[in-house]
Amino acid sequence: MPQAMNRQIVLKGRPVGPPRPGDFELVETAIPTPGAGEVLRRTIYLSLDPYMRGRMNEGRSYAASVELGQVMVGGTVSEVVESNNPAFQQGDLVVGYDGWRAYAVSSGSGTRTLDPGEAPISTALGVLGMPGMTAYVGLLDIGQPKPGETVVVSAAAGAVGSAVGQLARLKGCRAVGVAGSRAKCDYVTGELGFDACVDYKTQDLHAALKAACPKGIDVYFDNVGGAVLAAVLRLINPNARIPLCGLISQYNATEMPAGPNLAPLLVNRAMVRGFIVSDHADRMRDFLTDCSRWVREGKLKYREDIVEGLESAPRALIGLLEGRNFGKLLVRVGEDPTRR
Amino acid sequence: MPQAMNRQIVLKGRPVGPPRPGDFELVETAIPTPGAGEVLRRTIYLSLDPYMRGRMNEGRSYAASVELGQVMVGGTVSEVVESNNPAFQQGDLVVGYDGWRAYAVSSGSGTRTLDPGEAPISTALGVLGMPGMTAYVGLLDIGQPKPGETVVVSAAAGAVGSAVGQLARLKGCRAVGVAGSRAKCDYVTGELGFDACVDYKTQDLHAALKAACPKGIDVYFDNVGGAVLAAVLRLINPNARIPLCGLISQYNATEMPAGPNLAPLLVNRAMVRGFIVSDHADRMRDFLTDCSRWVREGKLKYREDIVEGLESAPRALIGLLEGRNFGKLLVRVGEDPTRR
């Protein structure tokens, strides 16, 4: 019976530049036994997110590195298979942070139980999970968009970016995406309702952004840094706000590239502010209330890019850092009982 | 009688790179006659400030360019010599914005009357004028320093920087300056009471800053940009704030240099915010109340670097952009009646 062993992916080497499959290793161990107060849970979905690249490095970032030989970290949706904790029943579906493995034992802290009748359970890792909350906090709290303003977001077809643009529209703003293919741009404007989308790979970025933002840029939600950020800075309006959410373009860099010239910040009294969603846990309830409703009402759409099997996770993460996913990237680690 | 003519300095050419004396021209015209409601005033002190370099360029900045052939703009302390405005008496000493000229006619709007018994009238262009208010608003409102934090300021011996560090000390912070000579650093620590000062010209900037800021950097009041900003970013603490006041290091650049890598902003949830003092006029009363008292009490010191004669202004401004001044740079355009 194959479930008799636990499958886990550990960090085997620290990448220099882009991660390679050999930086990961699939190891099999015994399925752990839950102790007093603990639960055993079976992973259904593993979330893959750009921040994971930083965890593969040694040294200080905003969270601890994964040590060599340790299981890679990550958000998960799981089914409780055995519970010694009165707060959880066998069969409960939960969202937690079990990492790249098929089974995990947990105390249950940091776990939220999901109601599959409310939304597909996989959304707890996407539009109704950390990426959605990142969009919500970063755009609304840091970006402070006002009706009629122009909001630009990079990685616009991704889990965070797709929510940012739709939230901007809901707040009465012009939403402009930047994405890496014609197909992604078509999805962003056609399906998600952004007002415009710039394909940074085939268009003159400055000219295309200028055409897409005839009134300049008031909020730029940055997921990528690099050339897009530099092009945006040339078009910002007075009092522009730039929530700095990610710098994907340089996560695989072996030395830190120079950044954009900051003179436009001075001239325009503009602000760049880095933020980390985990600092804003006090907004969780507002986020879930608002975004669950918008998802139900069809005002906040999402797309999932699901790869099959834990063993696919390394290549999928490598692809994510190259922009090869299309929508929220998930790994189906085990059977989803709600889709039986 | 030499006063029979007015002397003015006009912008003759737009500099490419550093301004040259030939970009300015001294012209003599008749002294203007004040109309109904107007006053004629005689310039005593002209303020020279780094922002003036931007006014010499064509095109959009946060304020309009000086047109070719127009008188250079600038803050001034003047004596009213003739008044058709009941709000002003002959002999009144006022601070206004008359520009690089010996006499000017004004409606009186935007003018504040000075009491020479309160503080030397020249301070209305320095520690109790726009540079002091820039330090006050930028440090206290944008930088939000908290007791025990470390505040770094560049151009620390200049009009703005010298006030920033002293205000930081008054707020219970560790104040660290960055300046361009040993003499300036000695003044900043010895006379102004900063805790430390780094000479960016002779020291390994990163190592020296690290030694001067053993607990990292919480607020960086940036006047210069460039290498100092890049070195500071490597040392910022979580939730650091960077009021972006000036980018003197690149004001003479013919094309915009790259900026620092912004990853530290993301990792540290830090903020860079450009600001322009003129947006914060609502803080004028607080500024004058607080800083006048601190100057009287000897808690807020200042140094003036006064050059003689309007004809000296071009070379003095050129020197200012190279860091050759030492303290608030003023031009004595006419006799100061309070120093007779």
Nearest to A274 among B259, B266, B274 (CB): B266
Q: In the prediction, which pLDDT does A2 show?
A: 45
Same domain, A104 and A195: no
Write down how long chain B is.
Answer: 340
Q: Best mutation site among B154, B272, B276, B277 for testing chain A: the one with the most A CBs within 10 Å?
A: B272
Q: For the residues B114-135, what does the mean pLDDT come to?
A: 96
> CB within 8 A of A309, min separation 6: which ones?
A331, A332, A333
We report the CATH number of the domain holding residue B40 as 3.90.180.10
Same domain, A135 and A267: yes
The 10s digit of each residue's pLDDT in B157-172 is 999 999 999 999 999 9
Cα dihedral B159, B161, B162, B166, rounded to 10, equals 140
Same domain, A151 and A15: no
Same domain, A149 and A110: no
Contact A327, A158 (CB under 8 A): yes
Same domain, A64 and A153: no
Name residue A45's beta-bridge partners: A77, A332
Q: Considering only CB atoms, which chain B residues are within 8 Å of A246?
A: 266
A69: left (phi over 0), alpha (psi -120 to 50) or beta: left
We report the CATH number of the domain holding residue A169 as 3.40.50.720
Q: For the residues B20-28, what does the mean pLDDT come to?
A: 97
Same domain, B17 and B46: yes
Q: For the residues B298-318, what does the mean pLDDT come to?
A: 97
The 10s digit of each residue's pLDDT in B138-152 is 999 999 999 999 999
Cα separation, B90 vs A213, whole angstroms: 54
Model confidence band, residue B1 (pLDDT cutoffs 50, 70, 90): very low
C-alpha distances in Å from residue A9, one per residue of A231, A334, B9, B214 = 39, 15, 73, 39
B273: left (phi over 0), alpha (psi -120 to 50) or beta: beta
Q: Which residue of B has its CA nearest to A60?
A: B267
Same domain, B107 and B140: no
Model confidence band, residue B2 (pLDDT cutoffs 50, 70, 90): very low
Same domain, A154 and A235: yes
The 10s digit of each residue's pLDDT in B232-245 is 999 999 999 999 99
**CA of B141, closest CA in chain A: separation in Å?**
13
Q: Domain for residue A108, yes or no?
A: yes
Q: Domain for residue B125, yes or no?
A: no
Tell which residue, A336, A339, A332, A321, has the closest CA to residue A155: A321
A:B CB pairs within 8 Å: 105
Domain count, chain B: 2
**CA of A90, closest CA in chain B: separation in Å?**
39
> Above 60 in pLDDT, residue B316?
yes
Q: Domain for residue A293, yes or no?
A: no
Same domain, B208 and B165: yes
Q: In the prediction, which pLDDT does B274 show?
A: 97
Q: Considering only CB atoms, which chain A residues are within 8 Å of B266?
A: 62, 244-247, 274, 276
> Above 50 in pLDDT, residue B318?
yes
Contact B100, B66 (CB under 8 A): no
Model confidence band, residue B61 (pLDDT cutoffs 50, 70, 90): low
Pairing of strands B5-11, B76-83: unpaired
Same domain, B69 and B200: no
Same domain, B137 and B271: yes
The residue type of A32 is P
Range of the domain at B90: 2-120+303-339
Tell which residue, A131, A121, A129, has the closest CA to residue A51: A131
ipTM: 0.92
Q: Which residue of A has its CA nearest to B266?
A: A274
Contact A64, A36 (CB under 8 A): no
Tell which residue, B157, B168, B171, B167, has the closest CA to residue B287: B167
Tell which residue, B105, B103, B121, B104, has the closest CA to residue B113: B121
Q: Domain for residue A84, yes or no?
A: yes
Same domain, B102 and B170: no
Q: Domain for residue A334, yes or no?
A: yes
- Is the pTM higher than 0.80? The answer reads yes
Answer yes or no: do A262 and B61 touch at CB < 8 A: no
Contact A264, A234 (CB under 8 A): yes
Which of B279, B294, B326 is a domain's end point?
B279
Cα separation, A40 vs B35, whole angstroms: 89
Answer yes or no: do A268 and B261 touch at CB < 8 A: no
Q: For the residues B72-80, what does the mean pLDDT come to?
A: 98
Q: Considering only CB atoms, which chain A residues are within 8 Å of B268?
A: 62, 274
For chain A, list residues whose CB is within 8 angstroms of any CB belonging to chain B. 60-62, 225, 229, 238, 244-247, 250, 256-263, 265-276, 279
Cα separation, B334 vs B310, whole angstroms: 8
As averages over each run of 10 residues, the pLDDT of chain A (340 residues) reads 78 96 97 96 97 88 86 98 96 98 95 94 98 98 98 97 98 98 97 97 92 98 96 97 95 91 94 96 97 97 97 97 94 93
Determine how many CB atoms are found less than 10 A away from the CB of residue A289. 10
Nearest to A247 among B257, B263, B279 (CB): B263
